[in-house]
Amino acid sequence: MIIAVFPGQGSQTPGFLTPWLQLDGAADRLAEYSEWAGVDLTAAGTEWDAERIRDTQVAQPLIVAASLLSWGAVADRDAFAGVAGHSVGEFAAAAAAGVLSEEDALRLVGIRGRAMAEAASAEQTGMSAIIGGDQDAIVARLDELDLTPANYNGAGQLVAAGSLPALQALAADPPAGTRVIPLQVAGAFHTRYMAPAVDALRQAAGAITPADPDRRIWSNRDGASIGSGAEFVDLLVDQVASPVRWDLCMAAFAADDVTGIVELSPAGTLIGLAKRALRGVPGVAVKTPDDLSAAQALLRSVAA
């Protein structure tokens, strides 16, 4: 079983969309995505600097748009038995599985990005990656500091979120055997600080009619495979203020005998985690159109 995975916020880099716009029809598609999301994604993905594309209301639709551009360039998408996304990448996964139309996915993620940016501006908050150490000890330390384990990424990586002073205290006195790395994000995503954004997204999501997925799709809530489109959209809404359990998604991939993983653009992060947590499972990171041939080769290896 080959699956496609879609990355989350922080995977974008300046100019990364430039090679994708050389593909036939890509510029027109990106112009449509920009209109739906309410962001000039062409300029964001080809001209804007790292600080400007770090802005939550830019980064989120930019990442989803890039994922869908690269997904659309894969020749044999029907060969993928399942999809999953990390955080905002779940919107791209929902479109790839037919739960949302591309238009609904981009409109919703535009609203999500703006609402989360507004929520993040209310208090000085952030996120830090914690590498290594014992997970139970790390979670206990976060509880002491009133920080939230926001992303359980697996492969020895957990992301803490909360107030900046508490994150500074964590860095000054980290749990044994860990490294603490501040992340370039604008707020404490997937925590209680994002509750106002949940309300805004829920209202917008109520105006769409999702379809049931046409292939397996796993949820960040607990790694479960979801068969109802309406349920998956409800989980998308709640996930804004809930932890991302990518560790449980990867455990589900192993239990479901996933034999190959293709990460769509802007790729690299999720394949890196899979290499450590799913040893022996081949993976392809589709960073540019030049990587599409490797994705096709992986798909052909299953059909052979």
Residues 160 and 130: beta-carbon distance below 8 Å: yes
Separation of first and last alpha carbons in the chain: 13
State the Cα–Cα distance between residues 209 and 233, nearest whole angstrom: 10
φ/ψ region of 124 (left if φ > 0, alpha if ψ in -120 to 50, else beta) reads beta
Is residue 87 annotated as part of the catalytic site, yes or no?
yes
Strand arrangement of the beta sheet that strand 178-182 belongs to: 178-182, 125-132, 157-163, 148-154, 244-245
Q: Which of 11, 34, 67, 87 is catalytic?
A: 87
State the Cα–Cα distance between residues 190 and 162, nearest whole angstrom: 10
Is residue 219 annotated as part of the catalytic site, yes or no?
no
Q: Which of 190, 219, 242, 265 is catalytic?
A: 190
Residues 70 and 20: beta-carbon distance below 8 Å: yes
Instruction: Say how many CA atoms lie within 13 Å of 299 toward its Cβ.
Output: 19
Question: Mind telling me the catalytic residues?
Answer: 87, 190
